[in-house]
Structure 1
Amino acid sequence: MENLLKMNLQHFAEEKSYRASTGVDEFYYGVVGDGTTAEAIERVKFLQTITVEMPQEPVRAYGDNQTAEIAVSGGDVSVTAGFHKIPIQDKEKLLGWETIDGITATGSNDNPPYVAAIFAKTYEDGSKEYVGLPKGMFTRPSVTGNTKGESTEFSTEEITASFMDREVEGFEDEKSALFARDAKGVTTNRDALFMKVFGVPHPEAGTPTEPEGA
């Protein structure tokens, strides 16, 4: 059984997949400060949309009326995430807000902490691709509201962040984004990614699971 499991996992790792994701799920964050280990892992439920921008720009050097060399200049990694609702407790932790006597406040001297984050892209076959962002800082969202009309409409909340390179165990150079993929029912790579990004296990990590059909 153990050898069969290894063969199935190896086959899944080597097989190319051309399926497009159909959803997002499992948004986690943890305050890492200037280190590589999160104080605790928090989840914000009901993630609706998320965009990770990782710009690169080719830079050319010229000579003899032609291109002599090309190098790649990497831009800042930015994240825009939309949620059904971001609880005030998470805003306090992500943005450095202060609550006194039941009143939560923000100001020009807010000091958001460095955080790491992970979210999952889901696929129709039950597999998941996890995206890990080792070190970044969220900025406060806009406050919006709409009047209630003839029909009920739910509001959403959007928040943005900037991420930077950070030392990640096992990699020679610092990294700003990591990716892991698991088959349906398998959490092996997810758990490994949590350890590299947060330095602590996934909240539900336990005995390794087997892929369905093994």
Structure 2
Amino acid sequence: MADTVKSGITNSPFVGVTNFHVAKLTEDASGGTPKYDASVAIPWVRQVQVKPKNNSATLYADNMSVATSNVMSEYELTIETATMPLEYKALLLGHKIDAGKLTVSKEDVAPYFAVMFESTKQNGKKRFVRFTKVQFTEPDETSKTKEENVSFNTPTMTATAIYRTADGASLEQADEEAENYVETTGTNWYTLTTV
């Protein structure tokens, strides 16, 4: 049963993002137990943007709206990193890497992952975020000549988070400032062989 929500709850504002991890989804059968490989930390993430994709409809009768319905179909993620090592690119997109050379083939299929990270707050507390089933797309990369003023060329990847087949879960969050927060939730956030 859900907790009764109190009035006047406040939290510290968000100021950063850290501890970006992915874990490959290996089993996701309907009604079964989802399983993942061990999580992999991807450092130097600069920004994670989350956009819910909502579909809505309004029913009209007697010359007015009488009902409305909203369905959240998926989340669109945009991840900006300081760098994108070829090893991570191969992992996320299902490409082959051998002896430092990445090869993109038409048969490559990007696997599904859990995506996890922490939004850090001004007061030092954290909000833990986990998307349970995410597929990445090829990153946008810009190569630009060096000019008088230094400008870093940072890659950006987009991904789509959908509902997990096993249980219909898509997004999980935990907050150190939430009432009744359990510390072990954050401690074990990146360990999800079975979730």
Q: Normalising by the residue count of structure 1, what TM-score does the alignment of the two structures yield? A: 0.75
| 8 Å CA contact retained: 1:129, 1:181 | yes
For CA contacts below 8 A with separation 6 or more, give which structure has more relative contact order. Answer: 2
Residue 68 (structure 1) aligned to one of 66, 69, 75: 66
Moved over 6 A (4+): none
Identity %: 23
Q: Normalising by the residue count of structure 2, what TM-score does the alignment of the two structures yield? A: 0.82
Partner of 2:173 in structure 1?
179
- Deviation string 1:35-64 (CA, Å, 9 cap, x unpaired) is 322212100111101111113243111222
CA distance in 1, matches of 2:140, 2:21: 21
Partner of 1:207 in structure 2?
none
Partner of 1:210 in structure 2?
none
CA distance in 1, matches of 2:136, 2:174: 23
CA distance in 1, matches of 2:106, 2:8: 50
Shift of 1:67: 2.1
Shift of 1:15: 8.3
Specify which structure has the higher proportion of helix. 1
List runs of 5+ in structure 2 lacking aligned partners.
Answer: 1-6, 29-33
Specify which structure has the higher proportion of strand. 2
Partner of 1:24 in structure 2?
17
Alignment: residue pair count? 181
| 8 Å CA contact retained: 1:59, 1:71 | yes
- C-alpha change, 1:102 and 1:48, in structure 2 (3 Å) is closer
Shift of 1:153: 2.8
Residue 189 (structure 1) aligned to one of 185, 190, 195: 185
- C-alpha change, 1:15 and 1:134, in structure 2 (3 Å) is farther
List runs of 5+ in structure 1 lacking aligned partners.
Answer: 1-13, 202-214
